[in-house]
Amino acid sequence: MRRLVIRTLAALGIVAALIATLLIGRDPVPPTFPVTPASPTARPLAISGELARTLRPGAGGPLNLVLTNPHRFDVRIRSLVVGLRARTTKAGCSGAGNYAITQFRGGYPLVLGPGSTPLSTLRADSATWPRVAMRDLPVSQDACRGARLSLTYRARATR
């Protein structure tokens, strides 16, 4: 493992440095230090959320997502998409076949200050939040009892 230092000279003699690690070999060991992007705009927003109620066929509920802005300035969220992974924790229970997502309908942009903010602070009307529901199918859905779903989140934001 070699240490590589990249330096740039900007106007007025200001020097910026980036430390990178160069790994040479067949099976490189992943770095054990936090990777810091060169640009603050490269830091992603964090999105998390859980459904507060148990799902059953024909019923669902809103997701009060928690959005985390790692920057020291406000960002404007221009799009927010919740996805559903195809598999659940139970064999025989398809996520995509048994569950449905309704996307956020609260209007954009969402102005997100630094730190963590629940969606309920940005849009109080839970009818506009993303929703997860269990489809009511004409077949037995007993295989889905106690299943855990995995959701994915994507957002596009600008300063």
Q: Has residue 89 got a pLDDT over 70?
A: yes
Q: pLDDT (tens digit, 9 = 90+) per residue, 75-88?
A: 999 999 999 999 99
Query: Is 121 part of any domain?
Result: yes
**Is residue 73 pLDDT above 90, yes or no?**
yes
Q: What is the mean pLDDT of residues 13-39?
A: 42
Would you state the pLDDT for residue 43?
A: 74
Question: Domain with 92 in it: what CATH number?
Answer: 2.60.40
Q: Can you spell out the DSSP letters for the chain?
A: -EEEEEEEE-GGG-EEEEEEEE--SSSPPPP-S----SSGGGSPPEEE--BSS---BT-EEEB--EEEE-SSS-EEEEEEEEEE-SB-SSTT-BHHHHEEEE---S-SPEEE-SEEEEHHHH---GGGS-EEEE---SS--GGGTT----EEEEEEEE-
**Is 18 a member of any domain?**
no
Residue 60 lies in a domain: yes
Query: The whole model's pTM is what?
Result: 0.69
pLDDT score, position 13: 40
pLDDT band at 71 (very low <50, low <70, confident <90, very high): very high
Most confident of 3-7, 47-51, 145-149: 145-149
pLDDT at 23: 41
Number of residues assigned to the chain: 159
Q: What is the mean pLDDT of residues 91-118?
A: 95
The total domain count for the chain is 1
> Residue 52's pLDDT is what?
75
Q: Please check the confidence at residue 141 and state whether its pLDDT lies above 80.
A: yes
Question: Is residue 104 in some structural domain?
Answer: yes
The verdict on residue 154 lying in a domain is yes
User: Domain of 105?
Assistant: 43-136+148-158
Establish if 37 belongs to a structural domain: no
Asked if residue 61 belongs to a domain, the reply is: yes
Beta carbons within 8 Å of 43's beta carbon, 6+ residues apart: 37, 70, 71
